[in-house]
Chains A and B, each alone.
Chain A
């Protein structure tokens, strides 16, 4: 069993490449940090201690404190929760709406495809951030209006790629073969088409997640999404007071985290959806696997022929 798991990890590493592996490990750590925040964080993220305001890194405060004397390390840890929650919702909603629409359009083609594709194009033309600002203007600042607005803006970003990939699968003879076997539309699209384009969807979702993270951080920075006392990376970056006072760590630390997350997600997304660093290497490897699996074929066919 252990060998099996190790084998899987080794295979995953091989297909992700060195940069992809680093990105995956980093994101896994961030995710763990968010889930286990109460265990990981050294202190209560909202505990104020004005006496300790703007203290530098020390044994008590690993990354120092902010203007209200709150522990920055702890705020980063808890901040990962809100910072990751927003993009998760955005991607989930965008996928939930966009993927079924794209699959529908790919399957039926014709006017269904034309209508869906035009709608995607239309929404694609709307700038996401502007939509979010509009939503905030209508419903007041907060995470939810921003998430809803961004979700809508992100639908075509994901769905257009799903549509293109699904359309390619749709015209494959294997889909015809399944239809001839009497399988229904839903089964063929979900169990076969979606499964085969899974890596593309997943990769694109990872990239979208990174962008959503950045967009939400920007909105929080502007005070339009997550609101001040809550620990959030975007909110933390907006602590311009610290900069004025000459303390850069309270701003730099969350900024670095955001950049690293977005970068990792982009790298990982590209790798998952099939962009390989060295295509030549891949073919070689595949050729060798084929060679290895063949000898058995020969014996058997010899018996059968």
Chain B
């Protein structure tokens, strides 16, 4: 297993190289460039060209790429065109709030999702089952901006319990992470329920039941551990999606996260920042997917690594 993990980590290098090439190329395929975006409506051509020259955007693309790679190997992600800050500083400072938010909302989503899913599967086609399904689907269909605003209106404006937006102490984290968790709860609950149902129908569980084990024991010990793989997969996917896809939540709650940074930087065609941010997000994905794959082996020892 350790050997496998090491091999995977070594393979991260070509993966990240691939990401960097792809992002580098695609960014330059986009219409518009940092100079036109930065200079804005009022700019003259003269200014646009000066900005291009200042940032070496007037050089041939292969030279730009070589320069980028050279810096990259020295661990230098370059400087933001828009803010002139080092990309590393900028991305890291925005990745931290995102990690906070993602972690809290994942804990919420996994706890709630797995519990609801398991109960639904244990008592299928009951009021609880359908009630939770309905709740899950509403959570999934409600756009983040709507849900977020509703929570704000209730808990901040009406009840005055929580700050409406912004980053600060722990209380600031509650509303955005609940909002962010909503769609994940739905996904995790539905997945848990469905795989649990599947497992509960298998001969293996029938045997366990026949042996006279208590139902709760059957469900928790035997069924859940067997249903863990799809659940783990979904958790891994959600974790990743939250990392890069929390833009809307970050917008609604004025959360200074990396999702907003990426979107703002794409809009500004701030090439170095987008490159750097995507690269760092990619690193997190490599880790998340590795952890998920390793956990597969933990929950089901029959799965081999090769």
- Report whether chain A binds chain B: no
A residues with CB within 8 A of B:
none
